[in-house]
Structures are given as C-alpha cells and as structure tokens.
Amino acid sequence: MPELPELQAHAERLEEDFGGHRLATFRPLTFTALKTVQPAPEVAVGQTLLDIDRTGKYLRLRFAGATFVVHLMQGGRLNGDAKQSAKPRGGLARWTFDDGSALLLTEQSKEKRAGVWVVAGDPTTQAPLLGLGPDAATLTIAELRHALAGPSMRVHGFLRDQRRIAGIGRRLASEVCHRAELSPFAATGKLSDSEVTTLHGAIGECIAEALAVERGRDTMSSSAERPGAMYHRTGEPCPRCGDAIRSVEYASYTVNYCPQCQTKGKVLADNTTSKFLK
C-alpha cells in the first residue's frame, strides 16, 4: 500500500497538472466507489480545484464547498486519464475538467476496496479522516510521547497504527525500526527517553529520504521500486553491519529486521506467539 512519501509526492505532481482546473463532472464508475451520500458530488461541479494534498494515507482534492477524500488501498491509483474510455479497466471513478482533461481512480485488485468520500467543511473532523493520529511528516517529539503513552504494544505495530501516527505502513515501519536500532517487537511502554528520541529522529529521516526519491520520479513507485535497507530484503546483508537480514512472516505481511543491529543477535522465532527480546 502506498505510504506517506509516495502519496505526498504524487499529490504534488497531480496538483501541478490539475490544480486550478474547473470540475465539469464527477462520475462513479462502480456502485461501491462512492462511500458517502451527503453532500452530493455535484456541489463541486463548476468549482475550481484549489489544491490536492494528503492526510495520512489519504489523498484530498479540495474544491470550494466540498473535498473529495480518496483512499487508494493496496492496488488503487489516481492518474491522468487521456483515453477517457467508457469502461476503463479497473475504473472506479472519474473527475472531468472543463479543459477536457480528467483524473481516473482505478484499482486492479479483486477486492475493490479503494474509494471516494465527499465531505463539506474540515475533512479532518469527519470520516474517514476522523480519528487519525498526528501526521508522521510533521510529528513532534511531544506528539510521539503522547501517542506512546497509550496502551503498550510492539513498536512495529505502533508505527503502523493510523490512530497513533498517520502515514506509516509496513515498509516504513521496518525501515524506521532498523534506523533506530530497535527490535520491531520492542514494547512501546518500555522505551527509554533516549530510545524515544532516537525513534523520533528515525521517523523523520526515513520519511525525508523516501520522499526525496519519490519527488525525483514522474509516477508513483511500485512496492518493489521503493528503496530501503530492510523491507523485502530477507537474506541480504544488512548495509550497516553485514549480518543477514531476517524476517518474521505473517499471513498478509512480513517484518524484516537485522539481529545484530536490532535484537542483540537474537533471531526472532517466526510465529505470532513467540516472546521477543527488546
């Protein structure tokens, strides 16, 4: 799933291409694409696209009177639509502008979980953005400490919990843990002050590095194209110490880590019931 760096850079590219255009039509192409009933999307028709931005893992297309909030989920993409075919492959929704250009939301996965919410007023106070934690791109150490004060959980899961911090997914969580030299399964309730400070710095550094890469691209990267020291590099040498990168496999995702850098040499058992070292 695209994370903060991919979505931020993509929002910037889309705004450059479509910002200032006037909306002619919005059309859901599937029954499940539009997740809200009120306000109707038509309230934005005839209005100028003021900006395209991002909150957490959501894109926001802001018009006077309404904002379209878009979640791409795993396989969704929002791109320019030059062909504007009647039945585009994987098409979910289309925004057409008065100059003839268009944006098309597609999703190639079978689940069709990507979607669009139309909201009036401040979108951060309404579903689906309501309840998100502070954005990882602007996270202060005070906000991090406040988030960590909640129920203790494993660091990797904490970083991915959008109610705690918004914008980080599986790849970034593994990269941040490695940068901070923390076990992905360290208990958040047992982190020292120095570890919290290091974790905060690692979040900022990993996001900045990934964002710089994404801003150098013309299109959003695929998962395999995203750079990193840990993610999907099982068996490769750790770039910091040379030890073999290990993994803990779950049904739908993988956690990568370096034993030498993160777990004092301990190889973590590959199941969800193991006891892990700090």
Residues 214 and 235 in one domain: yes
CB contact burial 19-35 (16+ within 10 A = b; e otherwise): eebebeebebbeeebbe
Task: In whole angstroms, give the CA distance from residue 2 to residue 220.
Answer: 9
Is residue 141 within 8 Å of 222, Cβ to Cβ? no
Residues 78 and 145 reside in one and the same domain: no
Q: Compute the half-sphere exposure of residue 268: CA atoms within 13 Å on the CB side of its CA.
A: 29
- Predicted confidence (pLDDT) per residue in 172-226, tens digit: 999 999 999 999 999 999 999 999 999 999 999 999 999 999 999 999 988 778 8
Sign of the dihedral defined by the CA atoms of residues 28, 33, 37, 38, in that order: negative
The verdict on 83 and 152 lying in the same domain is no
pLDDT reported for residue 273: 44
Q: Give the three-class secondary structure for 140.
A: coil
Q: Give the pair of three-digit tokens for residue 130.
A: 């309501």
The whole-number pLDDT of residue 271 equals: 56
Q: Do residues 120 and 153 both lie within one domain?
A: no
| Token pair in block for residue 155 | 């660091």
Contact in structure between 74 and 113 (CB atoms under 8 Å): yes
**Residue 109: what pLDDT?**
77
Shared-domain flag, residues 161 and 106: no
Running DSSP on this structure, what letter comes out for residue 43?
A: G
Token readout for 224 is 């395999």
3-class secondary structure per residue, 107-137: ECCCCCCCEEEEECCCHHHCCCCCCCCCEHH
Query: Residue written as tokens 């590959």?
Result: 270
CA separation for the pair 91, 110 (Å, rounded): 12
Q: pTM value?
A: 0.92
Task: Name every residue whose Cβ is closer than 8 Å to that of residue 77 and which is 6 or more positions away in sequence.
Answer: 105, 106, 107, 220
- Note whether 111 and 152 are same-domain residues: no
Element at 249 (helix H, strand E): strand 246-249
- Residue-wise pLDDT for 39-51, tens only, equals 999 999 999 999 9
Percent pLDDT > 90 in the chain is 87
d(C-alpha 106, C-alpha 93), whole Å: 7
pLDDT, residue 275, reads: 46
Can you give the residue range of the structural domain that contains 56? Answer: 4-125
Domain count for the chain, please give it.
Answer: 2
Pick the last residue of a domain from 125, 144, 168: 125
76, β-bridge pairs: 107
Asked if 158 and 238 touch (Cβ cutoff 8 Å), the reply is no
What is the mean predicted confidence (pLDDT) over 93-113?
A: 92
User: Considering only CA atoms, which of 220, 221, 238 is closest in space to residue 229?
Assistant: 238
Kindly state whether residues 167 and 94 are assigned to the same domain: no
Check whether residue 95 and residue 194 sit in a common domain: no
Residue 191 lies in a domain: yes
Least confident of 166-170, 249-253, 272-276: 272-276
Contact 24, 18 (CB under 8 A): no
C-alpha to C-alpha distance for 136 and 142, rounded to whole angstroms: 13
pLDDT of residue 112: 75
Q: Are residues 142 and 121 in the same domain?
A: no
Whether 118 is in a domain gets the answer: yes
**With 60 as the cut, is the pLDDT of residue 230 above it?**
yes
- Predicted confidence (pLDDT) at residue 107 exceeds the cutoff of 90: yes
16-25, 107-116, 130-139, 178-187: least confidently modelled range: 107-116
